[in-house]
Amino acid sequence: MKNSRVENATASVGIIGFGAFGQLIAKHLNQKFKMLAYDPSPHLREDASKLGVSIASLGQVAKCDVIVVASPVSSFESVVRSIAPICRPGAIIVDVGSVKVQPSEIMDRFLPEYVSIVATHPLFGPQSARNGIRGLKVAVCPIRGHHHTHVAAFLRKHLGLHVIVTTPDQHDRDAATVQGITHLIAKVLLNMGPLPSRMTTKSFDLISEAISMVQHDAPEVFEAIESANPYAKEVRQRFFSMAFELNSFLEDSERHD
């Protein structure tokens, strides 16, 4: 572990995609690493310099010791293909998206043999991380090489995260329910308009809090969960068919009253 790039204070970390999540990563790593970030949007220099991160070209970022791909699902494959020919032997490539099967396959297919690949999914966002990330959960899937043990140790030891080692397939099965259900409920309730906040029960307050945590998520997150997770459709169909069943049951019992 001593020789691991992840545990080496002078290691460089490059973030590709400097949106809300890329910035959250920077905020928690900037004390420990030399940080570079690349984003296609040109308006991020100020945000970056506040976080102690240098905005750089994709070519520069791709030469870091650890490369964190935090791009939306839609551009994930093109980003991976762009860095594949430039990244250095021994580099660790980490992704952080909400689905794991598809990005892991893309990284495994296009990245050169001489890099390590660790697929991760921090099970939190800017909202749930507002009061710090200690104790929050992160899924870690070993894809290639043994660096996942260093990544997991770092996340546990230095960031205080609860690390769940799993496979991309098992991750996507669980996430389809966990994230799929949360976002479906949030979408339905937010479409219903402003919810009561004064005369509420404890359980309703918990549901409102859950919704407020995901309501400002980028649209790409919902898109990723619903269209890029191979198990999302099944969960959605079960959710809606249970809802339809309950609806018919209540309509029927009304008719018989």
- Among 55, 79, 139, 224, contact with its own copies (rule: CB under 8 A): 139
Which of 16, 114, 32 shows the shortest CA–CA distance to 64? 16
- Please list the residues that pair with 139 across neighbouring strands: 121, 164
- Residue 55: how many CA atoms within 13 Å on its side-chain side? 16
- Per-residue mark of binding to its own copies, 15-54 (x: CB under 8 A): ----------------------------------------
Query: What residues have CB less than 8 Å from 74, skipping those under 6 apart?
Result: 220, 223
Q: Counting contacts by CB under 8 A, is residue 216 touching its own copies? A: no
Select the residue interacting with its own copies from 202, 219, 255, 256 (CB under 8 A). Answer: 202
The single residue listed with the structure tokens 């079960």 is 238
Can you tell me the distance from the alpha carbon of 154 to that of 104, in angstroms, rounded to the nearest whole number? 21
110 in contact with its own copies (CB under 8 A): no
The yes or no reply on residue 242 touching its own copies (CB under 8 A) is yes
Task: State the amino acid at position 182 in one-letter form.
Answer: T
Strands 116-122 and 137-144, by their bridges, are antiparallel
Single out the segment in contact with its own copies by CB under 8 A; choices: 8-16, 52-60, 65-73, 172-180: 172-180
Angle formed at CA 145 by CA 143 and CA 146, multiple of 5 degrees: 105
Q: Which two tokens stand for residue 141?
A: 């899937």
For residue 187 the two structure tokens come to 């979408």
Residue of 94, 175, 221, 224 interacting with its own copies (CB under 8 A): 175
The site for its own copies, by CB under 8 A, has a size of 56
For its own copies, the binding residue among 211, 220, 224, 231 (CB under 8 A) is 211
Among 31, 59, 240, 252, binds its own copies (CB under 8 A): 240
For its own copies, the binding residues (CB under 8 A) are: 123-124, 128, 136-137, 139, 164, 166, 171, 174-175, 177-179, 181-182, 184-185, 187-189, 191-192, 195-196, 198-204, 206-207, 209-211, 213-214, 226-227, 233, 236, 238-240, 242-247, 250, 253-254, 257
